[in-house]
Amino acid sequence: MTGAVRPLLPRVRAGVERALEWAVILLIAALATVVIVAVMFRKAGHALVWYDEVAAILLAWLTFYGSALAALKRAHIGFPRLVQRFSGRARNIAVITREVAVLEFLAMVGLAGWQVTEGLQGTYLVSLASVPRWLSASAVPLGALACIVAELLSALEWRAEPVSSEPERVP
């Protein structure tokens, strides 16, 4: 990594982390609001027909953006205990293998999600006929892209850190 890129990496990572945190906060707030409003309407005897569909969509978006935030913090799909058992070169190989496998998986998920999203063009939600289905399905390719960005930033950050030759002690 060049010297000019290193100072930029922490700022980019912090910006992405802040954006993902806000996305997760807003999605949690929206989901909680929809659930609370739906419960109030149901108790009043006027169940909302769109509640289930909207709540499921918000949960899908929350899952993907929450996963991206976890990936950025290296708290997702990492096998940390296994990798920590290795030392030096073996650890580097294990981490690189893991990164390549995770990035390939996320790319496949994103591509499949994009194909589904394209296939839903011209269709609309059942309970909200004015909302296009592609909007809800776009959680998959956009979420996978967010996870890829988070994984790459996390990997670059890991690469910038020196790796000791001694394995960390795992309880």
Mean pLDDT (the chain) is: 86
User: Where are any strands of DSSP class E within 24-110?
Assistant: none
C-alpha Rg value of the chain to the nearest Å: 20
Average pLDDT of the segment spanning 62-90: 83
* Residue 145 in this model has a pLDDT that exceeds 70: yes
93 pLDDT higher than 90 = no
What does the alpha-carbon distance between residue 163 and residue 10 come to, in Å, rounded to a whole number? 18
Query: What pLDDT sits at residue 120?
Result: 93
Across the range 25-45, mean pLDDT stands at: 96
Per DSSP, the three-state class of 124 is strand
Q: What is the mean pLDDT of residues 87-101?
A: 86
